[in-house]
Structure 1
Amino acid sequence: MSNLALHQITKRFGAVNVLHGIDLEVRDGEFVVFVGPSGCGKSTLLRIIAGLEAASSGEIRLDDRLVNSVSAADRGLAMVFQSYALYPHMSVRQNLAFGLENIRMPKAEIEARVMEAARMLLIEPLLNRRPGQLSGGQRQRVAIGRAIVRRPGIFLLDEPLSNLDAELRVVMRAELAALHERLDATMIYVTHDQTEAMTLADRIVVLRDGRVEQVGTPLELYNKPANRFVAGFIGSPRMNFIEALVDRASLDVGGRRHGMTGIELAPGTPVTLGVRPHEVDITDVEDGTLALEITLVEQLGAETVLHGKTHLGGNFTLTSPGQGRFAAGDRVGLALPSELHVFDAQGIAITPR
Structure 2
Amino acid sequence: MGHIKLANIGKAFGAVKVLHDINLEIEDGELVVFVGPSGCGKSTLLRMIAGLDKPTSGDLSIDGKVVNTVPAADRGLAMVFQSYALYPHMSVRQNLAFGLENTRMPKTEILERIAEAARMLEIEPYLDRRPGQLSGGQRQRVAIGRAIVRRPVAFLLDEPLSNLDAELRGSTRAEISALHARLGATMIYVTHDQVEAMTLADRIVVLRAGRIEQVGTPLELYNNPANRFVAGFIGSPHMNFLDGEVASIAGERAVATLAGGHKLEVPGDPRMTIGMRITIGVRPQHVKLGDGAGSLPATIRLVEALGAETVVHTDVTGHKMLVVAQGQHKLTPGSEIQLSLAGAPLHLFDEKGLRLGLAV
- Measured against the shorter chain, the TM-score band is over 0.9
List 4+ stretches of structure 1 deviating above 6 A.
none
Q: Is the 8 A contact 1:207 1:213 kept in 2?
A: yes
CA distance in 2, matches of 1:196, 1:126: 27
Count, aligned residues:
351
CA distance in 1, matches of 2:292, 2:215: 40
How far off is 1:261 after superposition?
3.3
CA distance in 2, matches of 1:93, 1:298: 47
CA distance in 1, matches of 2:54, 2:81: 18
Question: 2:205 corresponds to which letter in structure 1?
Answer: V
Q: Is the 8 A contact 1:256 1:289 kept in 2?
A: no
Question: 1:325 corresponds to which letter in structure 2?
Answer: K
Equivalent of 2:306 in 289, 300, 305? 300
Q: What's 1:325 paired with?
A: 330
CA distance in 2, matches of 1:145, 1:333: 53
Q: What's 1:115 paired with?
A: 115
1:24-52 Cα offsets, whole Å, 9 max, x none, are 00001000000000000000000000000
CA distance in 1, matches of 2:147, 2:140: 11
Q: Is the 8 A contact 1:285 1:332 kept in 2?
A: no
CA distance in 1, matches of 2:151, 2:79: 12
Equivalent of 1:271 in 265, 278, 289? 278
Q: What's 1:345 paired with?
A: 351
Q: Is the 8 A contact 1:11 1:55 kept in 2?
A: yes
Equivalent of 2:256 in 251, 254, 257? 251
1:308-352 Cα offsets, whole Å, 9 max, x none, are 211x20111011110110121121111114441000000000124
Question: 1:196 corresponds to which letter in structure 2?
Answer: E
Aligned in 2, Cα 1:285/1:120: closer, same or farther, shift over 3 Å? closer
How far off is 1:259 after superposition?
1.6
How far off is 1:147 after superposition?
0.1
Q: TM-score, normalised by structure 1?
A: 0.97
Identity of aligned pairs, percent? 64
CA distance in 1, matches of 2:262, 2:13: 50
CA distance in 1, matches of 2:96, 2:201: 27
**2:220 counterpart SS class:** helix
Q: What's 1:77 paired with?
A: 77
Q: Is the 8 A contact 1:305 1:317 kept in 2?
A: yes
Q: Is the 8 A contact 2:6 2:61 kept in 1?
A: yes
Superposition pairs of residues 27-106 of structure 1, within 5 angstroms:
27-106=27-106
Q: What's 1:283 paired with?
A: 290
**1:40 counterpart SS class:** coil
CA distance in 2, matches of 1:43, 1:24: 15
1:241-281 Cα offsets, whole Å, 9 max, x none, are 00011011311123122223332311100000000001111
Q: Is the 8 A contact 1:285 1:331 kept in 2?
A: no
CA distance in 2, matches of 1:289, 1:120: 53
Q: What's 1:18 paired with?
A: 18
Aligned in 2, Cα 1:197/1:352: closer, same or farther, shift over 3 Å? closer
CA RMSD of aligned residues (A): 1.4
1:3-40 Cα offsets, whole Å, 9 max, x none, are 00001111111221110110000001000000000000
How far off is 1:285 after superposition?
10
Q: What's 2:252 paired with?
A: none
CA distance in 2, matches of 1:147, 1:2: 15
Aligned in 2, Cα 1:352/1:166: closer, same or farther, shift over 3 Å? closer
CA distance in 2, matches of 1:246, 1:176: 46
CA distance in 2, matches of 1:318, 1:102: 56
Superposition pairs of residues 146-185 of structure 1, within 5 angstroms:
146-185=146-185
CA distance in 1, matches of 2:142, 2:83: 12
Question: 1:171 corresponds to which letter in structure 2?
Answer: S
**1:260 counterpart SS class:** strand
Q: Which runs of 5+ in 1 are unaligned?
A: none
**1:248 counterpart SS class:** strand
**1:229 counterpart SS class:** helix
Q: Is the 8 A contact 1:41 1:210 kept in 2?
A: yes
Which segment drifts farther, 200-209 or 260-269? Answer: 260-269
Q: Which runs of 5+ in 2 are unaligned?
A: 250-254
CA distance in 2, matches of 1:40, 1:113: 37
Which segment drifts farther, 63-72 or 12-21? Answer: 12-21
Aligned in 2, Cα 1:317/1:233: closer, same or farther, shift over 3 Å? same
CA distance in 2, matches of 1:17, 1:304: 44
